[in-house]
Amino acid sequence: EEEERLHIMISGPPASGKGTQCQLISHKYGLVHVSAGDLLRTEISTASPNGKLAKQFMEKGELVPDDIVVSMVTRRLSQPDSLLHGWLLDGFPRSLSQATSLHRSGHFLPHLFILLDVSEDILVDRVVGRRLDPLTGNIYHLKYSPPESDEIAARLTQRFDDTEEKVKLRLNTHRQNVESVLSMYKDITVKINGNVSKEEVFNQIDSALTNLLEQRKVALGKT
Ligand code: AP5
């Protein structure tokens, strides 16, 4: 019997390392990385009406309205690659209403909810030093993950919402919503210490995923 593909959610405050860990996880486990923030930034780059509207909320560090985000995410999760390889959902759901909308159809239920726990002083430091490579999509940090060459360094960009002022607004939004989302997934939540190096964070996630796959094997063997 065909085993169902892995469905993983990852959550955590702004700049806690979600995107960084998603690159490592999808590289090892072959899951399709679906990032709500990345989908929104793509929408902004095409200057679509939804993109223009979304940017107004993102500039204030507020949640973009559900009608935009929910349909965008469910469409992405329904594409053939997500169905074939399984998915890793990053930054969604961010509110109870998003979680409820996502599961209304009975679909898109996660097997594991990863929560990155990072202290607030560290978050600000990670945000202001973050840089992105527009060519490869790789995430860098001037201090913790510097670019490998001058050529890469020269083309790095910074996100419009990566200032100390904006991250505080994003953090407030996160604080207001996190408990209600957590309550929905508490039975499948694994809390990860995100204060350590990215390799050490990944080791914790990797063992949680290994355990999950083991459990699923055992469960399948019993049927
Ligand atoms: P989104 O893009 O999701 O931003 P975010 O949640 O604030 O998270 P980030 O992308 O900033 O950080 P990250 O956790 O991925 O960290 P990263 O790996 O880059 O959302 C942006 C906006 O879009 C929201 O404010 C909202 O307006 C809107 N939006 C998104 N989803 C929405 C939704 N569901 N509903 C409504 N609106 C939505 O790492 C950060 C830095 O730290 C990097 O420089 C990295 O190199 C470094 N780093 C990572 N790990 C480590 C480590 N272990 N040690 C040292 N440095 C590290």
- Provide ipTM, 2 decimals: 0.97
pLDDT of residue 220: 82
217: left (phi over 0), alpha (psi -120 to 50) or beta: alpha
Residue 55 beta carbon below 6 angstroms from any ligand 1 atom: no
| 7-57 tens-digit pLDDT | 999 999 999 999 999 999 999 999 999 999 999 999 999 999 999 999 999
Contacts of 106 (CB under 8 A, 6+ apart): none
CA atoms within 13 A on the CB side of 131: 18
Our answer to whether residue 130 is catalytic in this structure is yes
Dihedrals φ, ψ of 52, to 5°? -65, -40
Dihedrals φ, ψ of 21, to 5°? -70, -35
| 79-130 tens-digit pLDDT | 999 999 999 999 999 999 999 999 998 889 999 999 999 999 999 999 999 9
Q: How many CB atoms lie within 10 A of CB 76?
A: 19
Q: Between β-strands 139-141 and 32-35, what pairing exists: parallel, antiparallel or unpaired?
A: unpaired
Helices (H), ranges, the chain: 18-29, 36-45, 49-59, 66-77, 80-85, 96-103, 120-129, 150-155, 164-185, 198-222
Q: Between β-strands 87-90 and 32-35, what pairing exists: parallel, antiparallel or unpaired?
A: parallel
Region 179-190: mean pLDDT is 97
Query: Would you place residue 186 in the very low, low, confident or very high pLDDT band (cuts 50, 70, 90)?
Result: very high
Q: Which of 9, 16, 20, 43 to mutate to test the pocket of ligand 1 (most atoms within 8 A of CB)?
A: 20
Ligand 1 atom nearest residue 93's Cα = 34
| 118-161 tens-digit pLDDT | 999 999 999 999 999 999 999 999 999 999 999 999 999 999 99
Residue 202 beta carbon below 6 angstroms from any ligand 1 atom: no
Asked if pLDDT for residue 2 goes beyond 80, the answer is no
Widest CA span of the chain, in angstroms?
56
Asked if pLDDT for residue 222 goes beyond 70, the answer is no
Please give the span between the terminal C-alpha atoms of the chain, in angstroms, as a whole number.
Answer: 10
Task: Please state, in angstroms and rounded to a whole number, the distance separating the CA atoms of residues 219 and 168.
Answer: 44
What's the mean pLDDT when you consider all of the chain? Answer: 95
* Cα-to-centroid distance, 101 and ligand 1 (Å): 23
Ligand 1 atom nearest residue 139's Cα = 46
* Cα-to-centroid distance, 88 and ligand 1 (Å): 15
Asked if pLDDT for residue 202 goes beyond 50, the answer is yes
